[in-house]
Structure 1
Amino acid sequence: MKISLEISLYPLDDDFLNIITDIVERLNADTQVSVLTNTMSTQVFGEFEAVMSLLNETVRYSFETYGKQVFVAKFLNSDLNPKNKL
């Protein structure tokens, strides 16, 4: 099953831009999913297991590395990747 994930990160740290950049780069490094980032959120598209595994690894890494922060996520059980609509 293909899914779409929209995730936003709000680090509770003065160095928030570097933290967000690191997390977005980690998401983009995964070759099993497609990632689009804009100024408000990052969207991840792909197979359910691949997206959820990446989310699990990323949130764990972020919490362990950077401490307190807020993640907001939305899920849709469909592939809404605009790259696939071209």
Structure 2
Amino acid sequence: MNISIELSLYPLAEQEFKSEIWAFIKRLRQVDGLKVVTNGMSTQVFGDYDLAVKHVMQEIKLVHEKLDAAVFVCKFINGDRSHVEAES
């Protein structure tokens, strides 16, 4: 079974956060079997359900360990929605 996950990261810490956001995305992009797409608003992760959820949760934990405070807004949708275009 496949899954589509949309993530937005909002660091609440005063420390430098852009590098941590890009490091988060880069680590997810290195996982074989995941498709990771970014835009100015969010990151989308597509792939096998167990693989995607495992790695997304690991990366969320790493960010929470590194930053004093960070909020993640996540949407989990069953199925691979990477081919679905946004409607106008």
TM score, norm. by length of structure 1: 0.88
Secondary structure in 1 matching 2:32: coil
1:58 aligns with 2:59: yes
The letter for the 1-side match of 2:17 is F
Name the SS for the 1:70 alignment partner. Answer: strand
Q: Which amino acid aligns with 2:10?
A: Y
Following superposition, the deviation at residue 22 of structure 1 comes to 1.2
**Is the Cα contact below 8 Å between 1:33 and 1:46 reproduced in 2?**
yes
Q: Note if contact 1:45-1:81 (Cα within 8 Å) is conserved in structure 2.
A: yes
Q: State how far apart, in whole Å, the 2-side matches of 1:32 and 1:57 are.
A: 16
- Taking the aligned partners of 1:19 and 1:12, their CA distance within structure 2 comes to 12
CA-to-aligned-CA distance 1:13-52 (integer Å, 9 cap, x gap): 2312112111111111111211001110000001110011
What are the ranges of 5 or more consecutive residues in structure 2 without an aligned counterpart?
none
TM-score, with normalisation over the residues of structure 2? 0.86
Q: Percent identity?
A: 37
The CA RMSD over aligned residues, in Å, is 1.4
Structure 1 residue runs of 4 or more that deviate by more than 6 Å after TM superposition: none
- How many residue pairs get aligned? The number is 83
Query: Structure 2: how far apart are the matches of 1:50 and 1:41?
Result: 20
Q: Which has the higher helix share?
A: 1
Q: Tell me, in whole angstroms, the C-alpha distance in 2 between the residues paired with 1:75 and 1:22.
A: 21
